[in-house]
Amino acid sequence: MPTRYLLLIGLVLTPLLACPQTLPAPAQALLNQAQAADPARYQYALSHGAQILPTTDSLSFYLLWRPAGAPPNGPLIVTLHGSSSWATDEFFLWHAAAQAHGVGILALQWWFGSSAAPPQDYYAPQQLYREIDRALQPVAQPRRSVLLHGFSRGAANSYGVAFLDQQTTRAYFCLCLANAGSAQLTYPLYRDMDAGNFGPAPLTGTHWALFCGGRDPAPTMSGCIGMQNTAAWVTRMGATVELFIQDSLAGHGGFHQTPAYVDSVLTAFDHCRITALGTGAVPTALPVLTAYPNPFGDNLVVELPPSPVVRVLRLYDARARLCRMLEVKCGQTRVALPAAGLPPGLYQLTCPGHTQPLRVMRE
C-alpha cells in the first residue's frame, strides 16, 4: 500500500483515539471492564479503527471493523469469545489475518462480566442471533458472506446460532468454525434438535470447520474426543464438515497460535463465499493439495488442480513461522517449492482454496 494511504488512515483513526463513543450505561460499564482486563488489547482495537457499538438491548457492545476501502456489507467474521472473556480479545486474535484476507470483523461481547447465574451471565443462542442479525440487517449483509467463529464456550453455542440462521431467509453464514468447544446434547436446544423436533436434519446447508488440541485440559468437552463426537453429530444433523484440524501437540488455544490453521480456515471461507457468490448455492468441496516426496529433500513437488486465479503456496515450520512462499500461476497444476537450507523437521503447506494444511517432513 502506498505511504500516502497509510498516512491517510492514521489521520482517520486519530478521532477514534481521542473521542471513543459513549455507550448506554450497562454497555459502558461492561466496556470499562474489558478495558481494565486488558488495556493493551482495548487500545489495539481503537488504534486499528474498530467501532465500539451498543447492542440493541443496551446491555452489551460489539466491535465492528472493516478493511480500508471495503464496502459496508463486505465479507465478515462474526466471532464469539470463550468463557469469561472479551470481544477485544477476539478482535486482537483475528485482526492481522482478517486484514490479509480483506475480511471484516464483528466481535460480540456476550458475557456480561459477572458470575451471575444463567441467564444473567451470557446471551443465549437466540439472543446472540438476534444481536448479530440486527447488526447485519441495516447494511444488507448478503447471504453466505459471513464466517461464524466461536471459541470454547462460544463454539459450544455456535451450533445453535448456525441453526437459527439456517431457519431464516437471510442465511448469512457460509462457513462456521467451532474452535475447541463441543455440542453438549444436554443443552435443551441441542436435545430437541437431536430428538428430531426440528426435522431429521436441522443443520442441512451449514458448512463447518472444527479445531481441537490433543493437550486440551478438557478432552471430552473442548478437546479432541469432544470435537470428534461433535463432528459426527453435526454430520448426522445434515451439516457438511469441510475441515477438521486435530493437532495432537496443541492446547486449548492452539488454533490462533498456529497461523497456518487460521490461514486455512480463511482460505476455506474465501472459497465458500466465492462459490456461493450470486448463486445462493452452498459451497462445493475444497480441492485436495498433494506434495511429494514426503519426507522431502531440497525440493518439494506440489500438485494442485488448475485455477483461473493466481495462488500462493506457503510453507510454515513447527513454530508457525513462514519459511517459503511460491506463486502458482493461472492454470499451473505442478510446481517445485525450493527447500534448500531448511532444517529437518515437520512443516505445514497451505494454499488458498484447498483443504486444511498439509503436513510434510524435511529430511
Per-residue tens of pLDDT for the chain, all 363 residues:
443 333 333 333 333 343 456 899 999 999 999 999 999 999 999 999 999 999 999 999 999 999 999 999 999 999 999 999 999 999 999 999 999 889 999 999 999 999 888 778 999 999 999 999 999 999 999 999 999 999 999 999 999 999 999 999 899 999 999 999 999 999 999 999 999 999 999 999 999 999 999 999 999 999 999 999 999 999 999 999 888 998 989 999 999 999 889 988 998 898 888 777 655 555 555 667 889 999 999 999 999 887 766 678 888 887 767 899 888 887 888 999 999 999 999 988 887 666 567 889 999
How far apart are the C-alpha atoms of 35 and 143, rounded to whole Å? Answer: 34
Nearest to 162 by CA among 171, 339, 325: 171
Distance, first Cα to last Cα, the chain:
38
Given this model, what pLDDT does residue 278 score? 55
pTM of the complete model beyond 0.85: no
Nearest residue to 266 via CA among 194, 339, 174, 346: 174
Provide the 10 A C-beta neighbour count for residue 72.
11
In terms of phi and psi (left: phi > 0; alpha: psi -120 to 50; beta: otherwise), the region of 53 is beta
Instruction: Find out whether 317 and 345 touch, Cβ atoms under 8 Å.
Output: yes
In which element (H, E) is residue 328 found? strand 322-328
Which residue type sits at 166? Q
Residues whose CB falls within 8 Å of the CB of residue 219, separated by 6 or more in sequence, listed in order:
225, 226
Whole-number pLDDT of residue 356: 62
d(CA 251, CA 216): 5
How much is the pLDDT for 4? 37
| CATH 3.40.47.10, domain 22-276, yes or no | no
Please state whether beta strands 104-108 and 76-80 pair in parallel, antiparallel, or not at all (unpaired): parallel
| Residue ranges of the chain assigned to CATH 3.40.50.1820 | 22-276
Domain 290-362 CATH assignment equals 2.60.40.2550: yes
| C-alpha cell belonging to residue 98 | 482478517
| pLDDT score recorded for residue 97 | 93
Q: What is the pLDDT of residue 126?
A: 96
Query: 152 near 222, Cβ under 8 Å?
Result: yes
Amino acid present at 334:
R
> String of b and e for 299-331 (b: at least 16 CB within 10 Å)?
ebebebeebeeebebbbbbeeeeebbebebeee
Range list for CATH 2.60.40.2550 in the chain: 290-362
Q: Count other C-beta atoms under 10 Å from residue 278's C-beta.
A: 8
- Strands of the sheet with 358-362, listed across from one edge: 322-328, 311-317, 345-350, 358-362
H helices, E strands: number in the chain: 9, 15
